[in-house]
Copies of this chain bind each other. A is one copy, B any other.
């Protein structure tokens, strides 16, 4: 089984699956678009009437309802594509709502809390944590795209409920949508995500807040636009990320503040040598990151308008 390509065998082996997607935003909607016509049934679970109606109207899902209930249709694989604390809530209600159990995969941005909740599911559930390392500035179903996952890394986190059958199903699903799987322990995921995803968000949002009173946007060039792009992220999603990955984010933030303080102090005393070293090391680190991107084919885009 070649799990890295969108190939015929992968597409064929998920054809029998009855899939339900809880959360029809950017991630859930994009997954629905990528799976549409490729699985035997696609059911949407989405509390917001507008998103639910849009998903039905555009045929992203065949059926939809506001929330999972004991009356919901049969589900082989339930994909949780909601903010992390909404995922935790659904996982908590799952034993009562799905007495016969089912397979569960989530797309949440933090993994320790989700995997702990999956570990606590009854043994007749199969569950695996997931985090696709992709997204868009614009949240919501309207921004969904069938190609969102194509070529993107998709982290899978082992749980006490991860059966070989479910792992194989998850890998097949990833192959069908063109994502590249990477297994990672939930704690390690959250530590890394704090440094390369959650901290950049916090930094970008603080920058946007600090610049907000200027309102001289006509002077802002591509650099400002890129540095503040993450500040546009959905606050509800970000709130759940911050609250479910507090320790790791505080650690990453402390390391960041050490760097910033060193710069500020060197600047305050006009220490040219210290400033020069600090700047040169930042550029070297960026060059190393770019080279790594070149190697993996994830080349950073050039800066241009």
The interface of chain A, by Cβ under 8 A from chain B, is 133-138, 151-153, 155, 182, 192-193, 195-197, 199-212, 214-235, 238-239, 242-243, 246, 249-250, 252-253, 255-260, 263-264, 267-268, 270, 272, 275-276, 278-283, 285-290, 292-293, 296, 298, 300-305
Contacts and interface: CB of A to CB of B under 8 A. Distances in A.
B219 A192 contact: yes
Nearest to A193: B219
Nearest to A200: B227
A286 B228 contact: yes
B227 A203 contact: yes
Given A200-B224, A228-B286, A267-B242, A298 B305 contact: yes
Contacts of A193: 219
B279 A219 contact: no
A254 to B, nearest CB: 8
A235 B305 contact: no
User: Which 8 residue pairs across A and B have the least CB separation, nearest first?
Assistant: A205-B282, A212-B285, A235-B279, A137-B303, A200-B227, A217-B292, A210-B256, A231-B286
A256 B206 CA distance: 6
A258 to B, nearest CB: 8
Contact of A217 (B214, B217, B239, B296): B296
- Looking at A260, A272, A276, A293, the one whose CB has the most chain B CB atoms below 10 A away is A260
A283 B235 CA distance: 7
Contacts of A204: 227
A32 B197 CA distance: 40
B207 A203 contact: yes
Contacts of A133: 219-221
Contacts of A257: 260, 264
B223 A229 contact: yes
A263 B270 CA distance: 29
Contacts of A202: 260, 263
Given A219-B196, A250-B267, A260-B257, A230 B226 contact: yes
A211 B232 contact: no
Given A227-B229, A285-B209, A293 B153 contact: no
A272 to B, nearest CB: 7
Given A134-B221, A195-B210, 9 more contacts: A135-B221, A192-B219, A201-B223, A204-B227, A220-B293, A229-B300, A235-B279, A253-B260, A253-B267
